[in-house]
Amino acid sequence: MKKWLFAVLIGSALVLGACGGGDDDATDTNGDGGETTETAAGQEIYEANCAACHGADLSGGAGPNLSAVGSKYSADEIVDIIHNGIGNMQAQNVDNDDAEVLANWLAEKK
């Protein structure tokens, strides 16, 4: 019985240890290459407004692939596309601040 209890406790510790760790929403304040607050915000805005058509990984779907959109459009052009649409894409109801954060995040995709 003691061996079984010990095995359960060790197994639980391993599982909980594997689930813990880093904070995925951490911000980079010292410039060491980690995720910044704006990057996290851009991704969150994308997931809420764009992922349904452009794919969770930017690979496309009903909308085109956006994985290298920054090599085609500047952040200002992306803001314009968000607000006015392009091709089959309708104008999106995203406020100006969120559109700028999203456009800056997408413009980095090259």
Per-residue pLDDT of the chain (110 residues; tens, 9 = 90+): 667 766 666 767 766 666 555 444 444 444 555 668 889 999 999 999 999 999 999 999 999 999 999 999 999 999 999 999 999 999 999 999 999 999 999 999 99
89 annotated as a binding-site residue = yes
State residue 21's pLDDT score: 52
User: Which amino acid is residue 13, in one-letter code?
Assistant: A
State residue 13's pLDDT score: 72
In b/e form, how buried is each residue of 22-51, taking b as 16+ CB within 10 angstroms? eeeeeeeeeeeeeeeeebbbbbebbeebbb
Top-tier CATH class for 37-110: mainly alpha
53 annotated as a binding-site residue = yes
Query: Which pTM does this prediction carry?
Result: 0.68
User: Of 106, 90, 92, whose CA–CA distance to 39 is shortest?
Assistant: 106
State residue 26's pLDDT score: 42
Q: Calculate ∠ Cα 76-102-21, nearest 5°.
A: 145
Domain ranges of the chain: 37-110
- Which residue is associated with the tokens 């951490």? 26
1 annotated as a binding-site residue = no
19 annotated as a binding-site residue = no
